[in-house]
Amino acid sequence: MALSPYLLFLVAVVAVSTSAVTSATKREGRAGEDLRLPRDILPRSYEVTLLPILIEGNFTTEGYVSISVDCIQSTNNITLHIADIIFNPMDIALTDLTTGQFVSISNVVEDKVRQFLILTPNVQLLAGRQYRLSMTFISILNNELRGFYRSNYNENGTTKYMAVSQMQPTDARRAFPCFDEPNMKANFTMKLGRLTTQLSTSNMPVKETTPIADRPGYVWDLFETSLPVSTYLVGMMVSEFTFIDSPGGLSTTPFRIWTRPEAVSQAEYASRIGPQVLSFYEEYFQIAFPLPKQDMVALKDLSFGGMENWGMITYRETALLFDPVKSSESDKQRVVTVVAHELAHQWFGDLVTMDWWSELWLNEGFASYMEYIGANYVEPEFGLIEQIVINDIQDVFGVDALESSHPISVEVNDPNEINELFDDISYAKGASIIRMLNKFLGEQSFRAGLTNYLNERKYSNAVADDLWSALTAQAIADNVNLPVDVRTIMNTWTLKMGYPIVTVTRDYATLAATVSQERFLLRSNPNSTDETVYRWWIPLTYTSDFSQPQKSTWMAFEQPAIQISNVGASNQWVIFNVDQVGYYRVNYDNANWNMIIAQLLLDYQQISLINRAQLLDDSLNIARVNALPYAFPLELTQYLTKEQDYIPWTSALNGLSYLDLMYIRTAGYGEFKGYLTKLVTPLYDYVKFNDTVGDSHLLIYTRVTAVTWACKLNIGDCVSNSVNFYQAWMNDPTNPTIVPVNQKATITCTAIANGGDPEWDFAFQRYLDSNVAAESSKLLFGLSCSTDSLTLQTLLEWSLDPTSGIRRNDASSVFINVGSNPIGRELTFDFIQTRWSDMVAYFPSLYDLARIVDSVSEGFNTPAEVEELKQLQADHADELGTAARAIDQSIERSESNVEWMSLHYQEVLDWIQQNP
């Protein structure tokens, strides 16, 4: 289709009228520069009209926006956001709604650095009056997964294009000019143009559909006006998707799942669990979902796993679709947890939105915590309440042990700084401290306080102090015994980075213990200039008998150490941090460690499931930082030959993975591998290779873990099973049931590692042909397991080639997967160094690239490799900007690895040789 007459006109006008707009594209530094919008003009309501043109050679959107604004303080200009939008300044109109008169605009400035559009009217705008700002524009339907962007999929050999939005955090300004800050909420009336063969959806239901004049075959969908919402939560889509309605009786809110037509059969699981989780949250928060419908959309291309647009949530296909034949148990868990996460956002983030991005954790931490609660409601047998310990708490401990970590709440202004906050600290640490908060307040007070907070701040914005005030008031009302108010306790966890290691030193004669706290650091910098006092308000819990009620006390921020009397009999172990509720590690004196080890070897079930996981994770990491001889965690691991539960095994293997990473390129790897094989073999023998009917979710998870490691360690039965299953699949490629679905990733990886080009080519073709995104991700992982460096190099090249069949949002996974292959690690880092500019151009943000560097360099443990990292950072310091923190973390981790090799390499090897 040719360009529309209006588009031809506007492009021509812009081409000859650029002098009418002052463009500020260069500025001197950022020191003191205000990157926030002024508050003298605030939006009240938007009318947004968008007509996406989904035709090759013309991926654009014709747009119109009308914004009603309140003048809060008299001013001489209006400043709003705009980015990558073509407009004619002569088409900008300003009306005084009090007088009905047009206000002429004397100057238009586009500040491209700050992404500001600054309009100067001829007269002063007066406080207390309302104005209406309107303009036409053209935006680009980019393929960068941000703003209003284009995506595509294949249907019966035909490429289908669609337009969909991803506004978070600062990309609504790429879709239409707007006041693009979370605390500038407004009502939105959306109007989307589409072909009659397409459908559209947005935050609210369609109000009416009318033909587009002079545009045969096109119609307008006008949507109901929204409740007050932040710009980053505006959602919209124009596509040839279809939808299914959820079964009746699961929710009072109409629910639809949108997918490409060929994938609609995979939407059934989400259509059942989504309404149930929504109804559960309504009861949990005691607040009804306020919108008239809820759509959930499965996309091939999305920069996040899910995006919580109010009433129109978008997901990657892997996070929403489930195929009963080709999807695994882990795929099912991913769907239920991501759905529960995004639906939790409908309250935490959408109904009540953080005031500014520095409080992002209020959104993401709560959603990350509630995903376990909501998912557990619909899938109680998944053991999700326990899994938060290994998925979030123990995982984020690794990042938060770095001096280059950051507080949960941190000041940000630049869009790049904001992007950087979407990390484990905001999500996993946020969830971890909220879980801790829940436990010391009690479930009843916690929930009642949340309800009060949400009701007090609904349709508005909040800061952490609003939450602390609501919870403190509820704690007082319920007579909860707290040493100080909630704000005082929680500020020690949110306003400083890191976490404590609590050291328990027992006096076996008096039965007392000295308990001290200090910051747990992976590596302490003797030249640090950080003057922060790293102490916390710590809720201590402890027990010597898990069949009895736990004991508890508080360690105050002012107390580096306290004395606790009667912690337990002199011949009985004591364990602190019951069920790892507190966000801290625990170390003990040698005698207590020895009693714990003896108990585990004698009868490990006398210690709770979570605390077995905690002991493994804590001891291995405390030894890693030279605060405990490695003999203690290694002797503790010997009980694993009896352990059969998923949670402790995951903690153990996560800790032992670090040792594996340190040894894998050394002469000592054979002996270390032998010790790991001794531990893993009994578990593999117990779970076997194949699933059986009736296996529980966590038994399947345990089997996946055992098979993954058994094949990694080249245990013969595992390797031969994998190769045989894969060969049978190659002989019958259209049979989806030949390969056990839960082992497909390991089978593919093992067969390719032990095969050649035919095995690799087969997997790549299956990746291209697969209609199930979850299966595609497993195949993509398997492709990275090749032992041929040329093949791995080709895979990296193809990940940056949009014509290769590897989708843009899969590219980072390729680099991380190849970089985790011992053969591919150096190759991947070399590729990053030589193809830096190409990767910068391909990935949505520099922070994505910095995260790849961080992952690939995880096993760096030589001085030369540290220098390479430092050189990479120095070479691109100007480009990296705030994303440099991720490289700082890579360098810090690698330097600690170098120290570890010096201090502990021989120590661990000696112990293994003495304990064959």
Nearest to 889 by CA among 443, 511, 423, 553: 423
Cα–Cα distance, 459 to 346 (Å, whole number): 11
Classified as helix, coil or strand, 78 is strand
Q: Is 341 annotated as a binding residue?
A: yes
Q: Which of 181, 224, 342, 868 is catalytic?
A: 342
* 155 is a catalytic site residue: no
Cα–Cα distance, 440 to 604 (Å, whole number): 27
165: burial class by Cβ within 10 Å (0-12, 13-18, 19+)? buried
Nearest to 578 by CA among 440, 410, 759: 440
Tokens 């941000």 sit on residue: 146
Nearest to 116 by CA among 180, 50, 197, 207: 180
CB 436 within 8 A of CB 539: yes
**Using the 8-state DSSP alphabet, how is residue 348 labeled?**
B
Q: Do the bridges between strand 105-111 and strand 22-24 make them parallel or antiparallel, or are there none, so unpaired?
A: parallel
Q: Answer left, alpha or beta for residue 29, where phi above 0 means left and psi between -120 and 50 means alpha.
A: left
**210 φ/ψ angles, rounded to the nearest 5 degrees:** -135, 150
Residue 288 has a CB neighbour count (10 Å cut-off) of 10
CB-based contacts of 303, cutoff 8 Å, min separation 6:
145, 146, 166, 809, 844
CB-based contacts of 883, cutoff 8 Å, min separation 6:
416, 419, 420, 845, 846, 847, 849, 850
Tokens representing 145? 């997964």
Alpha carbon distances (Å) from 241 to 161, 201, 206, 244, 566: 10, 10, 16, 10, 66
* Beta-sheet strand order (sheet of 78-81): 22-24, 105-111, 116-121, 78-81
Alpha carbon distances (Å) from 517 to 403, 495, 525, 716: 17, 18, 19, 47
Cα–Cα distance, 14 to 876 (Å, whole number): 35
Q: Is 345 annotated as a binding residue?
A: yes
Length of the chain: 916
Beta-ladder partners of 244: 257
Alpha carbon distances (Å) from 72 to 44, 66, 94, 821: 11, 19, 17, 58
CB 51 within 8 A of CB 218: yes
Bind-site residues for Zn(2+): 341, 345, 364
Bind-site residues: 341, 345, 364
Active site members: 342
